[in-house]
Every structure is written in C-alpha cells, then in structure tokens.
Chain A
C-alpha cells in the first residue's frame, strides 16, 4: 500500500528563518512521482514541484529547495529566508500506477506560520 506521512502538523517560524518540511513515503512501486503543493488560505492548491523516482537530484528554485533521498524514502522541502507570504498548508503527494490502478495520495499536510 502507498502512504505519505507528514509528521509535522504545524510549524511556526519567525520571518527570515529557514524551515524544512518533512515528507516520508511508502510504496512498493519502482516507478512513482512525488509532488509538493502549497495551499494558502484562499484554498487553491498551487503546484510547486514534481520529481520522478529515478531522479534523485536535488532541486533549487529561488528560496525553495527539495531533497529527495530514496534510501530513506524522504522528499523534504526547505524554504530559505522565510517570508510571511510563505504561510500556508503544504502537502506532499505520491502518484503511482499499481496493478493498473492509478493512485494519487496526499499527506496530511503541514501548516506553516511565518511570523513577522
């Protein structure tokens, strides 16, 4: 069975601090995709990144960076120099096709509060 765990329910940081959001996943598939989405109070889920299981290269996009480690089944997300606008709920998701069945599974989300 597939599972995505975001153990951090809520994190509060002061503006300009760095913060890492953890994501641990479980799957028996060799081919799968991992995603991060941001959900601000307005409700829309904003796509941030997609990574396939064969690409363990870390990625940096501005203040955002992602660390994918298959050895520990983790796909962590770091925000550098956090800003108030980063306050949102962040979801990690896993997608795979198992025995012809498509699954797109979200973690429970981490609520990030960035204080001014």
Chain B
C-alpha cells in the first residue's frame, strides 16, 4: 500500500484566515515532504521532515508553518497568505530519511485558493 492521504481536497481562504493542511501516511516512511505546484509548473520543494524533525526548509516564507506531530502525520499551517500562494499543495513520503534519493510517493494534493 503506497497511499498518502491529504485533506482537505479543496480550500478557499481569505488573506486574514488561519487554516491547516493535513497529510497522513501509514507506510512506515521516515521522511515526509511538502511541495507547492503552480499551474503548468513542476512541483517545488518547500519542506522536508526526517524522523519527525525539520531537515530542509527551502527558504519558505514564515506564513507557511510545517508541523510533524508524529511519524505518520504532517501538517502545514497557513496564516496571512497572499493570492499568489494559490496553488496545488502536494505531500509526499519516502522510506528513508531526508538526504536519501529514495522514491517519493505523493498524495492527491490540496488545491488552495487565496482570495
């Protein structure tokens, strides 16, 4: 089973709202990732968690705040977003911790619209 789940599937929020994206995997994977994908563009890496610790932050603005409560769960807290943050947010996981070149398995994504 290579399933990564993400909720919600769609989210519309105002610039003053606070919301969270959730990602879950039950494959025993040690690394989890957040990507941002704009229309007709490839995914861009945002954060990597390895063994529940943040290991990579690709200079993401502080209005995006990741959290890894346990090895199966990854959250992305959103606050004071801008309309240009509207995108598909993808979560992924891989067997090994970060710093590995292991295969990443992706969830279906959350389509975020910021008004």
**Which residue numbers of A lie inside 8 Å of B, CB to CB?**
32-33, 35, 37, 42-47, 50, 91, 95-97, 100, 102, 104, 106-109
Contact = CB atoms under 8 A, between A and B. Distances in A.
Given A47-B2, A102-B100, A109 B42 contact: yes
A70 B98 CA distance: 26
Nearest to B99: A102
B contact face: mostly helix, strand, loop, or mixed:
loop
Interface residues on B, range: 20 to 34
Interface of B: 2, 40-43, 45, 48, 56, 88, 90, 92, 98-101, 103-109, 111
Contacts, number: 50
11 contacts: A32-B101, A43-B88, A44-B108, A45-B92, A47-B103, A47-B106, A50-B103, A96-B101, A97-B99, A97-B101, A102-B99
A50 B102 CA distance: 9
